[in-house]
Structure 1
Amino acid sequence: MAIPDESVGLGVDIVEIERMRKIIKRSPAFVEKIYSAAERAYCDEHAHPEVHYATRFAAKEAVLKALGTGFSGGIHPLDVEVRRTAKGRPYVVLTGRAREVAREQNVREIPISLSFTHTDAVACAMAITDESVAAQERRRDPMEELTRQFKEARTFLDDLPAKESGQA
């Protein structure tokens, strides 16, 4: 079995929504410590903010798993912020130590996917490095490779001296 390539990090996390609701109720300061003002505004504008807080917490964990660090080495939850494009697609903005770690690893992009059910929030993140992009570019499409080989063989055949007529 091959050793996994370190050029792409993958992180997945799941958070129980009810647990997040209880944490927020018990300790309102929790949201101030963990979420940016923009994240809090987004979550609080919904009928069930705990769903969105849980989803964003899962995203923060997934991103840090993809980087291979977790909340350690000076990385704070506020160093990972989940935002949305104008069309609603979530994306991550890194600051502080999380940003430094990503730069040290030559991370080019961290796409994320968020989802939730009635009970759980889940997030997936990939830390795509410059090396992983270069490796992908080096890989050849099998049909392109076959076409290249055919052209080489055809050129080789075309370069062979033609037999004189009448010789068998």
Structure 2
Amino acid sequence: MAVASDSVGLGVDIVEIERMARIIKRSPAFTEKVYSAAERAYCDGHAHPEVHYATRFAAKEAVLKALGTGFSEGIGWLDVEVRRTSKGRPYVVLTGRAREVAREMGVREIPISLSYTHTDAVACAMAITDESVAAQKRRRDPMEELTRQFKEARSFLDELPANEGGRE
């Protein structure tokens, strides 16, 4: 299946949890520069906050890779925030320049997936644009297309005059 390169952006990032722990220990102000108050409260509310800081850091990077910008075009760390629904599903909120860039690109949704092991945190993000949704609607399901073609052929056969005399 071919998809236009401007229709969907994909970003993946991985962060070493121990490296994040060292950064936080060395420079406590790091968390205030990179994470919103809500993100800090969430991370600090866990027994191993470095795991959650690393996961959110990976998510911010993955989102900006999906947008194709990285931290350029005036986008800052706080322009990408990871939140959770009441059921715990993570989602992204864009503000500032990140939101402007996403709107300019026609991005309508950025689903994310977060995971971690005992050593690494990983995040995946997909920037889904209005164009990608429209392209999906234009594509036909192969079975629906086959059914349509069959009905069209059957209709054509039904319209042929009956053979008089039984000969072909």
Matched, 1:85 2:60: no
1:122 aligns with 122
Residues in 2 aligned to 1:3 and 1:139: alpha-carbon distance in whole angstroms? 11
Structure-2-length-normalised TM-score: 0.96
In the alignment, structure 1 residue 104 sits paired with structure 2 residue 76: no
- % of aligned pairs identical? 86
How far apart are the structure 1 equivalents of 2:49 and 2:166? Answer: 89
Structure 2 CA distance, aligned partners of 1:167 and 1:70? 73
* 1:162 positional shift: 1.7
Q: Distance in 1 between matches of 2:26 and 2:165?
A: 96
In the TM superposition, residue 163 of structure 1 has moved relative to its aligned partner by 2.2
Secondary structure at the aligned position of 1:123 is classed as strand
Q: How do 1:9-158 residues align onto structure 2 when only pairs under 5 Å count?
A: 9-158=9-158
Cα deviations by residue, 1:66-95 (Å, 9 ceiling, x for unpaired) = 000001110001000000000100000000
TM-score, normalization by structure 1: 0.96
Q: Deviations over 1:108-139 (max 9, x none)?
A: 10000000011110000000001111111111
The letter of the residue matching 1:10 is: L
Query: Which structure 1 residue ranges, 5 or more long, are not aligned?
Result: none
Q: Which runs of 5+ in 2 are unaligned?
A: none
Q: Is the alpha carbon distance of 1:78 and 1:166 closer, same or farther for their aligned partners in structure 2, counting shifts above 3 Å? A: closer
Q: What secondary structure is seen at the aligned counterpart in 1 of 2:156?
A: helix
SS in structure 2 of the partner of residue 70 of structure 1? coil
Structure 1's consecutive aligned runs of 4 or more residues displaced over 6 angstroms after TM superposition are none
1:17: Cα distance to partner? 0.5
Tell me the SS of whatever aligns to 2:125: strand
RMSD (Å), alpha carbons: 1.4
The letter for the 1-side match of 2:34 is I
